[in-house]
Amino acid sequence: MSVVKRLGVLTGGGDAPGLNAVIRAVVKASANSGIECIGLEDSFDGLIEPDRTRPLTPRDVTGILRLGGTILGTTNRGNPFAYPVTTSEGTRDYSDRVVEMFHEMGLDALVVIGGDGTLAIAHAFCKRGIALVGVPKTIDNDIVGTTNCFGFDTAVSFATDAIDRLHSTAEAHRRILVVEVMGRYAGWIALHAGVAGGADAILIPEIPFDIASVAERLRERDRWGAKFSIVVVAEGACPRGGQRSLIAEAQDGYVERLGGIGALVCEALAHETGKETRSVVLGHLQRGGAPTSFDRVLATRFGGKAVELVRRGEFGTMVAFAPPDIVARRLDDVVGKTKTVPPDNDLLLTAKALGVTFGD
Ligand code: F6P
């Protein structure tokens, strides 16, 4: 058992439904073990700027289980090793300040809740001697070592509901409806929401698509008498021999922003099939709102397990879901990697067997 008396908790990167459920679980489990929790605001900013921290007691987290967002705030451009400040050098390394503030605040350990970027920063601070445990978060579900991240189920449920709604209008007008979903370089949201929503084509980053082959599948549906089609496109999907569609290049501490492929696919399918087509981008609607019950339970289990690992002194780890258990993984083994959809994924193969085209 470790002798942690004061535990810092922060949320980093893009938000995901379930962040507040993790914070609540960490605070409650800590309080019941005699550990004081300190909330750090806006990711590692809470350890860079003064007065960006506050004690968190069970009273402070009452009622937040079902809330989207994060009561601590978050940012996806707050890397202390390359902090974006307006100087001629562009960025500044504030990592020493983070380590100093960690000790000055009397913290014994941190729980860092974040996606691949935030967990990589956490890993670097582990190497600088900070005792910490990571909690994987992302709607994209692309973190290695865990079957699920909380937020994914909520995003898939929302996208599925949207596809259901688009079905009726697509059918009424005999149109092709193209739905662009998030997921960055992984096709998990598109694959799961596409299958759950009964899509006819699912285009994912792992399989470069041939638009002529997608169009042929949709024409075939027309020949059967199914005069409408639903196409789900992951934001990171790209045409064979082509490029990913970007809204903005990486700059000033921001990673590149994906998007726009849905509109391009829509236009190309209109041209190839001669049918009326429309496109919809689900965007941040997938990230907002209340977490599903699955995500609330997973987030709560992650938070509870993180405190257990802190108490046991198992630092440099990340909690993970290995059904039916919540386990610990070494951060060494998970950071810097992306969990993409493998070609032999059973859901992918099942969808193909059912006639869904992936444009390959
Ligand atoms: O990683 C989660 C995610 O929602 C991705 O699916 C998406 O590409 C990205 O974040 C968008 O981030 P933001 O709009 O916050 O920069």
Dist. CA 238 → ligand 1 center (Å): 17
**Residue among 182, 241, 186 nearest 359 (CA):** 241
Which one, of 156, 168, 84, 135, lies nearest residue 308 by Cα?
A: 135
- Verify whether ligand 1 is closer than 6 Å to residue 182 (CB atom): yes
Atom of ligand 1 nearest to the CA of 254: 16
Q: Return d(Cα 152, Cα 14) in angstroms, integer.
A: 13
* Pocket-testing residue among 43, 75, 76, ligand 1, by greatest number of atoms within 8 A of Cβ: 76
| pLDDT over 90 (residue 251) | no
> Ligand 1 center to residue 319 CA distance, Å?
22
Active-site residue set? 140
Query: At residue 178, does pLDDT exceed 80?
Result: yes
Residues 246-251 have a mean pLDDT of 91
Ligand 1, atom 16, residue with closest C-alpha:
257
pTM metric for this prediction: 0.96
Mean pLDDT for all residues in the chain: 96
pLDDT exceeds cutoff 90 at 1: no
Q: Kindly report the backbone phi and psi dihedral angles of residue 165, in degrees, each rounded to the nearest multiple of 5, phi listed first.
A: -65, -40
Residue 87: its pLDDT value, please? 63
Q: Is 184 in the pocket of ligand 1 (CB under 6 A)?
A: yes
Closest atom of ligand 1 to 283 CA is 4
Q: Is the CB of 258 under 6 A from ligand 1?
A: yes
Ligand 1 site, residue 35, Cβ cutoff 6 A: no
The predicted pLDDT at position 253 comes to: 72
Whether 140 is in the pocket of ligand 1, judged by its Cβ within 6 Å, is yes
Cα-to-chain-centroid distance, residue 246 = 18
Confidence bin at 63 (pLDDT 50/70/90): very high
Contact 43, 74 (CB under 8 A): yes
The first and second tokens of residue 278, run together, are 């429309």
Segment 165-176, tens digit of pLDDT: 999 999 999 999
Looking at residue 249, its amino acid is E
Radius of gyration of the chain (CA): 22
Asked if 4 and 35 count as a contact pair (C-beta separation under 8 A), the reply is yes
Contacts of 335 (CB under 8 A, 6+ apart): 116, 119, 120, 123
Distance 335 CA to ligand 1 centre (A): 18
What average pLDDT score do residues 332-339 get?
96
Choose the residue to mutate in 74, 79, 137, 140 for probing ligand 1, maximizing ligand atoms within 8 Å of C-beta.
140
